[in-house]
Amino acid sequence: MVATAKRKAVNNTLQKPGKKVAKVESKSKVETFEDSSDNADDFIDDDAEDLMTAAASGKYDDMVDDEEEEDSDEDDDEDDDEEEEEEEEEEEDHVANGKASGKKTKKQYVSELYQPPTNQEMQGLKETSDLFKSNIFKMEIDELLKEVNIDYKKMNALELLLHRMKALFDQSQDINDATVLQVEKTMKEKHNITIPFPQPGPPSDAQYKFAYKKPAGMHLVGSYALKSISRARKPFNVDVAVEMPSSLFQEKDHMNYRYFYKRAYYLSVLASLINDKKKGLKVKTEFSLFNGDVRRPILVLRASGDKSDVDFTKSKCVIRVIPFVAPNVFPVIRLGPGRNNVRPKNDTPTDSLAPTPQYNAALLQDTSYTSSLAFMYQHEKRSPALKDAIKLARVWLYQRGLATFEQGKGGFNTFIFSMIMCYLLQGGGTNGGKKLAHGFSSYQLLRGTIDFLSTHDFIQSPIFIGKSDVEGFSAENFVNNYEVVMVDASGTINLAANISRSTMELVKHEAILAMQYFNDSQGDQFDALFLTQVDDMKVQFDNVARIQLPSKFPSYGEIEQADYPLKADFFSKKFYSVMKEALTDRVSILSVTANTIQPWSLDEKLSTSDLDTIQAGFMLLPENASRLLELGPSPEEKDAGDSFRKLWGDKAELRRFKDGSIRESVVFESSGAEDRTLIVQRMVAHLLRHHFGITNNVEYSAGQLYAFINHAKTVPEKFFNPEIRNVGFQPAMTAFDNLSKQLRALDDGLPLMIANIHPASPMLRFSTVFLPQPHDFDNIGLYPTTARYIEPIDVVLQFEISGKWPDDLGAIQSVKQAFLLKVAEQLKENAQVEAQVVEEILEKNPFAIRGYLDVQYSPGYVFRCRIQLDKEIGLLKAIKDNKTESKLNKDLAQEALDKYFHYFHHQQAHTFSMKALCSRFAALSFTMRIVKRWFSAHLLSPHITDEFIELLCVYVFLEAQPWQAPGSIMSGFARVMHLLATWDYQHEPLILDIEEEMTVADRDTIRDNFNRLRARDPHMKHSSMFIASQKDLEGQRWSKDKPSKIIAARIQALARAACTQLEQAIVSGSQKEFKRLFVTPMQDYSAIIRLIPNRCTRYIENLSPEAEYFTSATPKYRNLVARTTELGDQVYVQFDPAQYLVDEIQRLYGDFILPFHDKHGGDLIAIVWNPLTTAPRPWKVNQGFNAIPVDMKKGSKL
């Protein structure tokens, strides 16, 4: 729905809202009424106060600290009359001056066409240039608002239903006092309703009674009343506040849940009225909770779908019926943050009881619905753009899971955001001034509020819209009893009482990112702000923990239960506090959420069994997360030391360090880079055990993917070095450095000095699936065939400039080989290093580079060295540009030129960039490796290049919006899968700013190149997935030929399935579920060629290899020769028979057959007949293959 705003992005003229007429039935009488755009009193009780009228008349002026004056209703009416008179005069002028047909003359048309802009148009133009980064961004904002606006013309049935509900309540009969047992029995037997009492329910011998009287008032509150509601994926809420008569309550009903019990009963009576078969309403009813508070159940009404006159299905909303009481029912002084209002069963002195701030706030909030609405309405009257600003805010919040409590992010919602925005219209600025002005546009209001959220510390600096002189409501009392404080205009109600520090931390984080997007002058971040769903834990967080709560745990006793009736709420608060104190700077954001209670049937009892699990998301700071040591205070700091030992338990110990200092400390031993990335997981496990007694029932998603970039457990360790996991790529990098030094030391024995030695291999940019394994060349014959594959490490040599190189391309290749032979000779003589020169006999292009030097280097790597000579570029271009040359030679020259640039320019630059980025982002190397494994496991190796995959991975780090860069292998993998699953590659290129020097002009050039390419090639025969960078504005280096259109569609389908499977794997925590990510479906292939595993030299890399193919030299049966020696003692570099077969299939059958294979140990080749080339086609000459017509009688189809 919202996504269409991106593409529509066009200016639209403003239209005057027309008045709508609807029928309202009240007390069996049908009336007609008009609904103006700024009037929200249609459903307010005739006998009750009109909130909007009261606000407009100034009753609530004390809530708004503003000196601006409002235009009166009379002035508005006069302005409307003047506008109507002017319009009538203009129409008379047109009739008098125009033709009889009423059409304008040409002169009049031209005159109007070139009229100067109006003040409104000038303001819009100025706003665009001053506020927005570009015209496009403003148009996207305007289009988004149009997309999310509610069509109030479709609300007639809703309005009619609300009027009938009011009439129903007005005509209801009083119910006399009764005991709790009586009301429970009556409700169950007569109406089949289970009263949603908070648990534990009222005692059966309670002395207080339950009664019902018709509501004192019924008010439309919330965003719908303010006309600031907006469409979303789920139905929006229409909130109806029903005021319970004050006579139902006694003086002490504010204590021990008595108010909430009576409230639950009153709600049940309302439900029985609505469900009455004779007089009730035609709706579907169920119970739910207001903001997840079990103390405050509400009624949810859904459309019946019966197409009656009150069927509001088209409104796409639900009605929430919320009971409340007037503010003067209970003495406010008794509900201060520091007061206790829930007495324990045993006799405890009142002055020693812990306060119940959450309980007190819940009751006070039940008195604030109308005053909060009036407060916002007062500002809305002065700020015309406020409604649209709230709509934009709702979209921004919704994408982040913060728009409604039902999204499960712990209390923050659009209402809180709107109240903050209104607060900033009267304060929140520097030196006590205003942060926002009433004349601001919707964009300014939104941006200003988000800016405030990004910088304001709600923990240290609470918000007070108003202050109270009532005892017990001081700022200190609020701060001492609540994690987040935002007090309403009365100065007594903390609207943010149920917002956790965890949620507020997440809101601030999202606001900081949003401000970065607002300030980004290089690109359009509209998608990141408004169109991309952010609240996906597997994508948003680096580590995710699912914790099953125990039935009991320390610190959650009777006192705590009085204020936190839900165990999950208390645990979440305690868990966050402990983890933030212990993890310090290892984690930037910790989000703790619990499942929300879903609406339940009226005849059922509220169940909280689904709330026994919480989810914790950790955003890591990779530079700190892998730290082994956590330092505490010195022994002299006794109190701090006691706190440190209390926090860490037996893990804390005194240590003496090399500098002589003695500190409390905690040490987590680890081996290797993989293990160090899991330190946070180990810390969390220890803290859960120490503070909560939780040892099992924790599913922590962090390192499960490492198993798939290492050899399987069935592979004997004698065929690979398991210690490599501890040192990573370092041995290969060290070997490269040592080889470079030895090559430079050969200068005296070579005709030319070696000027440069460049790495050009995935192994030297930390991106191979498996860590580089050294091989024992002296005992290579003892390796089974399944473990004989040796991957060479590409290196580029550049010699000093010389004019003696020949001018013939063929001769140059021969001279290069002579140089390589000399290098091999010198290495043998000076360093006892084996090296062989190899000529690529399969290279048939006479102009192309061919030949290299393979160097067997300690501790067991093979470096493949090629010589770069840029003179070849000029010679190849001369052939290509020579008009007298044949087309064949020109094509061969272009092919050779492409190969040259690939090996000697693009590969070098790419390796340099990737190596630098892997050093910058700790999780990038792991992400590249696991994503490559995923591609190969799904048999896509023949259709995708390593460089393309690496660029995909780099994109989610450099262009991480709307998130921060991944900090773990898990989030890195999830982000790439999300990118592939959602990338609209047909219409959008991927633009990479690798050097971070890209200009707006560069981005525009890339988009222009992409659009021209799509215009030339609408069927995407080339560059189906287009990736470009500053050094590749054409997007031709790594995405020109691969993947094809068919493969791109396959990739996207697999990625979408992977996203779903990853979600299931994280929930279950099962390693088998994670492994399913790498198991590809086989039903879509036309044929499958099964390979003999013991002839596959890379079988050791297989995802699930069978141990029998790695047997020792001793055969299984005595009459058989050992299979492990069949390749002898010869070192075969890059020998892969399975890959040779794939290459041969591609060479012989071209595009007619698409082979699929896993180059990392795959033991099968899947075949698909290419549907684009195997379809019947007309016969003609020069087909490029041998063919005969199938049937000459049917148009000579092949």
Cβ-contact 879, 893 below 8 angstroms? yes
Q: Which of 236, 399, 261, 427 is nearest to 320 (CA)?
A: 236
Does 87 map to a domain?
Answer: no
CATH code, domain carrying 689: 3.30.70.3020
Domain assignment of residue 687, yes or no? yes
Helical packing angle, 386-399 and 369-382, nearest 10°? 120
Question: 487 in helix, strand or coil?
Answer: strand
Do residues 528 and 961 make contact, with C-beta atoms less than 8 angstroms apart? yes
Residue 1071: CB partners within 8 Å, gap ≥ 6?
A: 704, 707
Q: What is the 3-state secondary structure (H, E, C) of 967-999?
A: CCHHHHHHHHHHHHHHCCCCCCCEEECCCCCCC
Say what the pLDDT of residue 1172 is.
Answer: 64
Residues 6+ apart with CB under 8 A from 92: none
User: How far, in Å, are 39, 42, 117, 235, 823 from residue 224 at the CA level?
Assistant: 11, 12, 34, 12, 80
Pairing of strands 283-290, 293-303: antiparallel
Q: What span, in angstroms and rounded, lies between the C-alpha atoms of 570 and 974?
A: 31
Distance separating alpha carbons of residues 414 and 83, to the nearest angstrom: 36
864 φ, ψ (degrees, to nearest 5): -100, 110
484 contacts 97 by C-beta, under 8 angstroms: no
Q: Rounded distance, CA 667 to CA 750, Å? A: 53
Name the pTM for this structure.
Answer: 0.86
Contact status, residue 1086 vs residue 1169, Cβ threshold 8 Å: yes
Q: Which of 1053, 1081, 1109 is the last residue of a domain?
A: 1081
> At which of 643, 676, 702 does a domain end?
702
Domain membership flag for residue 1033: yes
Total length of the chain: 1198
Number of domain units in the chain: 3
Give a yes or no: residue 692 inside a domain.
yes
Domain assignment of residue 847, yes or no: no
The three-state DSSP-derived secondary structure of 379-431 is: HHHHCCCHHHHHHHHHHHHHHCCCCCHHHCCCCCCHHHHHHHHHHHCCCECHH
Angle, helix 442-455 to helix 135-148, in steps of 10 degrees: 100
Residue 558 lies in a domain: yes
Q: Which residues of 745-757 are buried (b: 16+ CB within 10 A; e: fewer)?
A: ebeeebeeebeeb
Query: Under a CB-based contact definition with an 8 Å cutoff, are residues 1052 and 978 in contact?
Result: no
Domain presence at residue 72: no
Contact 486, 463 (CB under 8 A): yes
910 Cβ contact partners less than 8 Å away, ≥ 6 residues apart: 765, 947, 950, 1037, 1038
CA distances from 591 to 7, 414, 507, 537, 573 (A): 34, 19, 10, 9, 11
Quickly tell me which residue has 């501790």 as its tokens: 859
Q: What share of the chain is helix, strand, coil (3-state, %, to 5)?
A: 45, 15, 40
What CA–CA distance (Å, rounded) separates 440 from 422?
Answer: 12
Q: Which helix (DSSP H) or strand (DSSP E) does residue 176 occupy?
A: strand 175-178
In which domain, by residue range, is 1072 found? 938-1081
SS3 720: coil
> How far, in Å, CA of 176 to CA of 187, rounded?
14
Last residue of a domain, one of 306, 326, 346: 326
Does 897 reside within a domain? no
Per-10-residue mean pLDDT, the chain, length 1198: 43 32 34 36 42 45 44 40 45 44 48 58 52 72 92 89 95 94 95 93 91 95 92 91 95 94 97 91 94 94 92 92 95 94 75 88 95 93 94 94 73 92 90 89 94 92 92 93 94 94 94 93 85 93 94 84 91 95 96 90 87 92 93 93 94 91 92 93 96 92 96 92 93 96 90 94 97 93 92 96 92 94 94 93 91 95 96 94 92 94 95 96 97 98 96 96 96 98 95 91 94 92 92 91 93 97 93 95 93 94 93 52 69 95 90 92 92 68 64 56
Can you tell me the distance from the alpha carbon of 569 to that of 933, in angstroms, rounded to the nearest whole number?
Answer: 40
According to DSSP, residue 38 is labeled: T
